Amino acid sequence: MRLRALLDTEALGLQLLGGEAELDRPVRGVMTTDLRDPSRYLTGGELVLTGLAWRRTAADSDDFVTLLAAAGVAGLAAGEAELGAIPNDLVAACARHRLPLFAVDERVAFADITEYVVRQVSGERAGDLAAVVERHRRLMSSGPAGGGPDAVLDLLGTDLDLRAWVLSSTGREIGGAGHPLPAPVRAELAGAQQAAARTARPGPYRIAVQGRTYSLFPVRAGAGGADVRSRVLSDWFLAVEADAGEWPAERLDLLQGVTQLIAVERDRRDAARAVRRRLAGEVFDLVRGGAAPAEVGARLRAAAPVLVPGAGGEPHWQIVIAKVEWAGGEVPAGPAAQALLEEVLADRAAQGGDGTDRIAVAHVEDKAMALVPLTAGAPVPGSGADAWSGPGPGMTGAAPEPLHAEALLGLLRGPLSRGLGDDGRLTVGVSAAVHSPEGLRGALEEARHARRVAAARPGRVCVAGHEELASHVLLLPFVPDDVRRAFTARLLDPLRAYDRRHRSELIPTLEAFLDCDGSWTRCASRLHLHVNTLRYRISRIEQLTGRDLARLEDKLDFFLALRMS
């Protein structure tokens, strides 16, 4: 805004006492002060409001105005309440320094002037920033832009004092203005974004986390699907540390422009992943089709460096398989799982040592399969040179950092459970790391079996790793449902019926007894029972089922029945 606008606003009731030729000066802010030397708090362009409490003698006026002029303020507005009229020495000092001077009627509060200036300056800054956002959007639509979304997020911070971040569906920080959010906050925001999106409410969504209010703006990239479930698990969003509930329409439009800019960047990254998706599909077709390791290795070498870790040591890969299921089955599961898996694996731990995104995910029917190159490490003994002719044995690098099922579950369960709601489910299987194309077929089978183990568990988000395939849990998912029901009913239904009739606890007692490896003293201590009471309960279990818990075979049957129930 210009100084002239102050005179054009009758409600302010300002009287110009000097400096008419300088009324086109821009006003960038406002400051109220009665300090004798306020220069340390001035940055230039302010309208300074003062009640003249600093003035003791006529000489003080020239000292005060000299400091303001040196600081580059736009103008001075002096209140009449303290002295009744603006002293002539102040008028003369302002004239000498060509500083516009206004008289503020004692009936006008400085707060009213401050509110008016702030509102005008903020609106103009938002308008200027909106033009910058639109320029960036056009640049990014037509080609690479300098700075990308981070440049606009920086502008939000410097021009509008808004702290903002671009986050993924799992809470991964994609962009920000130099103030990283703690992981628990990011996860909570991601979950809130997905929960709100499932309700089809228009953004922004507001949420309070750890005493701070955030406004969440969805980012809609590409065409997407008509059903929100096709994208809710992989969408990005803009989180702003502010309450947008009282924002004017202009500022909301500005933030919508920022989300459009981010959507352009998201589309660009998706387009860059198209090549990796195709390469991953070709490799998985070879592996699933039983191609010779040499043929798979040749395809991997042809895809370097996209599907091959950075130079330095033996290459390593893992395979991750994910499946998203929605009630009704009308939402295509494959593309949704593919987009989700790309977001999940885009963390730095799954990137090349040079920061290059090498995540390659294909989808086959209703599942997504990821070939994850790990950081190259030192040569693995016994890897064999026939399967892979990679870097020489003298080259070394960082040790491989494989993905772990437990870590993935911790990353996914919090945010995605809310996006899945009551009608969705995500199951993930993770293979062990392999160091040659020859091992990829086994890794694919490991990931498949691990995902089936995960699918056999209760819960909205379930992840299983290869390490679980060496125990009895590998067998349980493959037991037919009718056999499972018949087996558990024969052993456990008599106990359940007895517990219902007598309000007893035979089932919990059985679980504790097996968990304590049949130890009477440890089990009694855990259940806070006398050993004789425990013996009575075990005897009752044996009578009701016709089994003997002293026999290993019967213990094993009960153990499996409890696991399958």
pLDDT per position as a tens digit, 164-191: 999 998 888 888 867 788 989 999 999 9
In terms of Cβ atoms closer than 10 Å to its own Cβ (0-12, 13-18, 19+), residue 328 is exposed
Distance, in Å, from the CA atom of 380 to the CA atom of 378, rounded to the nearest integer, reads 6
CATH number of 151-268: 3.30.450
pLDDT of the residue at 409: 84
Which token pair is 365?
């029917």
pLDDT digits (tens, 9 = 90+) for 502-551: 999 999 999 999 988 889 999 999 999 999 999 999 999 999 999 999 98
More confident residue, 287 or 203: 287
Nearest to 96 by CA among 69, 56, 72, 59: 69
| Cross-sheet strand order for the sheet of 173-176 | 173-176, 164-167, 237-240, 212-218, 205-209
| Side chain identity, residue 397 | G
pLDDT exceeding 90 applies to what percent of the chain?
Answer: 27
More confident residue, 230 or 495: 495
Superfamily of domain 4-108: HprK N-terminal domain-like (3.40.1390.20)
Dump the DSSP string for 457-494.
Answer: S-SSEEEEEGGGGGSGGGTGGGS-HHHHHHHHHHHHHH
Distance, in Å, from the CA atom of 250 to the CA atom of 123, rounded to the nearest integer, reads 8
pLDDT of the residue at 271: 78
- Any bridge partners for residue 208, and if so which? 213
Q: Please, are residues 447 and 321 in contact by the beta-carbon 8 Å criterion?
A: yes
Distance, in Å, from the CA atom of 191 to the CA atom of 233, rounded to the nearest integer, reads 10
Distance, in Å, from the CA atom of 541 to the CA atom of 492, rounded to the nearest integer, reads 9
Which of 46-55, 412-421, 483-492 is predicted most confidently? 46-55
pLDDT of the residue at 140: 47
More confident residue, 217 or 387: 217
Average pLDDT estimate for 307-311: 58
Nearest to 445 by CA among 294, 290, 307: 290
Q: What band does 376 get if pLDDT is binned at 50, 70 and 90?
A: very low
pLDDT of the residue at 249: 77
384: left (phi over 0), alpha (psi -120 to 50) or beta: left
pLDDT of the residue at 377: 42
CATH number of 274-381+398-477: 3.30.70
Distance, in Å, from the CA atom of 383 to the CA atom of 183, rounded to the nearest integer, reads 38
More confident residue, 513 or 357: 513
Q: Share the mean pLDDT of the chain.
A: 80
More confident residue, 247 or 480: 247
Dump the DSSP string for 365-425.
Answer: TTEEEEEEEPPPBSPPTT--TTT---S-TT---PPP----HHHHHHHHHHHHHHHHTTTEE
Q: Is CATH 1.10.10.2840 correct for 479-564?
A: yes
Q: What torsion do the CA atoms of 462, 464, 470, 471 make, to the nearest 10 degrees?
A: -20
Is the predicted pLDDT of residue 62 greater than 70, yes or no? yes
Q: What band does 67 get if pLDDT is binned at 50, 70 and 90?
A: very high
In terms of Cβ atoms closer than 10 Å to its own Cβ (0-12, 13-18, 19+), residue 498 is middle
Nearest to 282 by CA among 301, 266, 265, 263: 301
First to last CA, the chain: 72
Nearest to 33 by CA among 54, 14, 17, 18: 54
- Per domain, the residue ranges of the chain are 4-108, 151-268, 274-381+398-477, 479-564
